Structure 1
Amino acid sequence: MVVDILSRLRVKSLMRFKCVCKFFYDLIKSDHHFMNKHYEISKGKTDCVVLEVGCFDREYYLLYKESEYNEIGCIYLDIVPGTPTSRVESWFKCCKGMLCLISIKDTRLNPGDYLIYDILIWNPSIRKVEALPSVTVPYRAPCHVFVDHQHFGFGISNNMTWKVVMLLDISSSEDYSTIHQMTMVYSKDHSDSWSLRQINSVISCENISGQHNDFYLKGRHYWRVEYFIYIEYLIWFDMNDEVFGTIELPSNLFIASVTIMNENIALLVENYKNTGCIDIWLMIENDNNTNWRKQVSIDCAQLNIYNNIEHWTPIGIWNVDGELLVFLNRDWDDLEPEHVRVPYFVSLDLVTQERKIFSLSKERKSITMASNSTTGHFQVYNEMNIDIIEEWKHNIFERETIYAQVYYESLHSP
């Protein structure tokens, strides 16, 4: 009974209860069965989404709904992989309450050079980060080359092995022809050390849509692929068997976003026949057959709470209650100065049609991680509320550069 009660508590409380006794400490700290039970329960009551914003200088925010007051708050995640001077590109992935941040130091190589990636595994709930050993790709540039396409996946296998999947297409700097393709898995073994290995299943990532049309679900990492206009499919990588597969998406649909709804893959589709509406399609699997079913159609006039909204962008289903998160692009001319460039969102309940508009709050809690450590493990050294009104004015949110992944509290450790 005690274990059942503890499994229903918030992570913040459990972090304090580690000090009660050795049994509590071992249960919360290292019992994987308890961690999984706690995670499954937290999915039913935690409303969180991690936002990644910006095209080059990216920032990360954790949106969450306060269950007691039904208010939406914001935490600024003040951490980036590598250092500002070393990062050329960076990627962010999410799985079971863990965040994976990947960065590359240089995308162009001279003859004899190697690709080097920095990777952080981070659990914001327990305030712990692990900086993994830098990944040196086992490919030595024969001439002047560059990484033409690079995509990543992050997930965990049934035996609790964390894995980072790396898909690389390398091209010549002279004629831009692809000269090498490779697929690698960077995984944690039973000795808690990380190792890199190549796998035989080489997947070209040329047609994978951007850097952020991907997600983890039920032991697989998915990437969205656009082959031709209105011909799309998903590539998946199984974290257990380490094999690839594909799922065809419905043809002749304008898919705005691929998201997760009730532990199933869902599509947010702009209805070109009924302008101003968005349809939600759900994937149904029966006897290894995949079908797509239209679940609901949403009249987007409900989102136009103010008359000065120019554009809206569906982000995804962001909680278990089935609420659609939408980013609003507003006409700034009619706004008061303190609201200019403040990012606004709408959360729309698909059942009750209740809607709530909110910003990323004028006060946010900043979680800052230590940036110097010889062991590779980082701890929080600062948590504070800071005024960000002036910063929002200079931080322009573009709808094409806002990406979101659903986040649930977890006790899993890097």
Structure 2
Amino acid sequence: MENCRLSTDLVVDILSRLRVKSLMRFKCVCKFFYNLITNDLRFMDTHYEFHKAKTDCVLLETGLAVRENYLLYKESSEYNEIGCIYLDIPTTPRAMWVKCCKGMLCLISTRNDIAKLDNVDYLIYDIWICNPSIRKVKALPSVTVPYRLPYNAYVHNEFGFGISNDMTWKVVMLLEICSFDVSTNDQQITLVYSQVGGDSWSLRQINAVTSCRDIGGQFNDFYLSGLDMGLNNDFYLKGRYYWLANRFHDEPYTQCLIWFDMNDEVFGTIELPMDVTIHSISIMNETIALLGYSSVGDSRCIEIWLMIEDDNNTYWHKQASIDCVVDNNESWRPIGIWNVNGELLVSLDKKVGWDSDNSDLQFISLDLVTQQRNMFSVSKQRSITMASNPTVGDERNIDIIDEYDLIFSGEVYARVYDESLHFL
């Protein structure tokens, strides 16, 4: 930097406009670059806010009983190509949840069989934090739920991951512990697992609780068989974590959003419009976007509804309605907002049904202004693998392997993913 003719402020401004992939190479240029890119939180925030406005990447979750996760991103707008990275996530035999906030992924596994907790005294969860953009992963201390389980029980659980205004990272855990004995009352527990500095984390039980049975399209009968049918529509936005809840037992059937405030640590709900069937929830123009269907004549329409907040009132505005022709062998599924320019990402299934082989899944980008439809080809398939699980506090680099077999199975759900330099 001593021989640089540009001012420090100008150099920082230039670097903040570069993609993370380039910054990872520039760390080796000089000590100033290294400290700026790896340690300067103000620079990380500036870089994140700049690139968040240009996001063109989504985190895909696919599968039924076995979940898989991918990063899908625009690689070449000139040739209409998207890149795809398979996230080879470490798992335990039972389950895995993946949450996302500011480019970091929170990976959660349980050591217990949550469908049938015979002779298990306490629930134990393992948690990893991963940033695929900077290729780092770290294990957090495991969480033991401070509640002795009744005999012959099962559990509904949901999770959220976010950051509060005082820059404290938090994992919120929603647990509903149930017994097969109908005479035993269910136990609802909310735990907040928060960073208190460095590699230290604290676990607290709070008074605010909510039922998590209907989050993510889950049916109680499937819990009894150990299956969780339906992907979770959940995301972090502006200090709150949101889950889509399906009230199957209401007459008529209704949907709502359940939210948890990372600052005040309270729950709330937002009612959804009754005249649209919600398939997915995304983020558009820094607000919540509902993606669903509505019948118009003999055609099927994809509708986008935006949440509007005005003087503490919340209402829904229909932003767009897109006609799509569906034949007997084709299914259009809106799965997420592709970028801030107003493009909708749609999955195109050639076969429909529980026994379908969806490995031939294709994607279409719909311009919400011109309604132009572009089908994308998938190129340069890569796999991010965390070969060996790190011990608590141990920070590991992530390996990237070129060439793998690309297979999408079952339903697909997308969250907006913003690449970031942030890490714990």
Q: TM-score, normalised by structure 2?
A: 0.86
- Ranges in structure 2 where 5+ consecutive residues have no aligned partner: 1-9, 218-230
Counterpart CA distance in 1 for 2:176 and 2:330 is 38
Residue-by-residue CA offset, 1:46-97 (whole Å, 9 max, x unaligned): 3001111111232221111125635333333342243xxx331211111111
CA RMSD of aligned residues (A): 2.3
Deviates more, 1:53-62 or 1:156-165: 53-62
Deviates more, 1:161-170 or 1:10-19: 10-19
Q: How does 1:215-230 map to 2 (within 5 A)?
A: 215-227=235-247, 228=250, 229-230=252-253
Q: How does 1:61-76 map to 2 (within 5 A)?
A: 61-67=70-76, 69-76=78-85
Q: Which residue of 2 aligns with 1:163?
A: 170
The 8 Å contact of residues 151 and 205 in structure 1, kept in 2 or not, is answered as yes
Among candidates 61, 73, 90, match of residue 96 of structure 2: 90
Among candidates 270, 294, 310, match of residue 330 of structure 2: 310
Counterpart CA distance in 2 for 1:177 and 1:191 is 41
Taking every aligned residue pair, what percent have the same amino acid on both sides?
59
Q: Which residue of 1 aligns with 2:159?
A: 152
The 8 Å contact of residues 342 and 359 in structure 1, kept in 2 or not, is answered as no
Q: Which residue of 1 aligns with 2:316?
A: 292
Counterpart CA distance in 2 for 1:222 and 1:281 is 16
Among candidates 37, 43, 48, match of residue 46 of structure 2: 37
Measured after TM superposition, the shift of residue 110 of structure 1 is 3.2
**What secondary structure, in the 3-state scheme, does the structure 2 residue paired with 1:37 have?**
helix
The 8 Å contact of residues 349 and 360 in structure 2, kept in 1 or not, is answered as no
Measured after TM superposition, the shift of residue 309 of structure 1 is 4.2
**TM-aligned CA distance change 1:191 to 1:100, over 3 Å:** closer
Measured after TM superposition, the shift of residue 33 of structure 1 is 1.5
Letter in 2 for 1:92: V
Letter in 1 for 2:179: S
Letter in 2 for 1:238: D
Measured after TM superposition, the shift of residue 129 of structure 1 is 0.7
**What secondary structure, in the 3-state scheme, does the structure 2 residue paired with 1:15 have?**
helix
**TM-aligned CA distance change 1:297 to 1:177, over 3 Å:** farther
Among candidates 279, 285, 299, match of residue 262 of structure 1: 285
Q: Which residue of 1 aligns with 2:216?
A: 209
The 8 Å contact of residues 186 and 196 in structure 1, kept in 2 or not, is answered as yes
**What secondary structure, in the 3-state scheme, does the structure 2 residue paired with 1:373 have?**
coil
Higher relative contact order (CA 8 A, sep 6+): 2
Counterpart CA distance in 1 for 2:102 and 2:56 is 14
**What secondary structure, in the 3-state scheme, does the structure 2 residue paired with 1:6 have?**
helix
The 8 Å contact of residues 91 and 103 in structure 1, kept in 2 or not, is answered as yes
Letter in 2 for 1:347: S
Residue-by-residue CA offset, 1:349-399 (whole Å, 9 max, x unaligned): 1112222213544x5112222314345322123x332152xxx5xx5622x
Among candidates 356, 365, 381, match of residue 347 of structure 1: 365
The 8 Å contact of residues 169 and 178 in structure 1, kept in 2 or not, is answered as no
The 8 Å contact of residues 80 and 374 in structure 2, kept in 1 or not, is answered as no
**TM-aligned CA distance change 1:187 to 1:70, over 3 Å:** farther
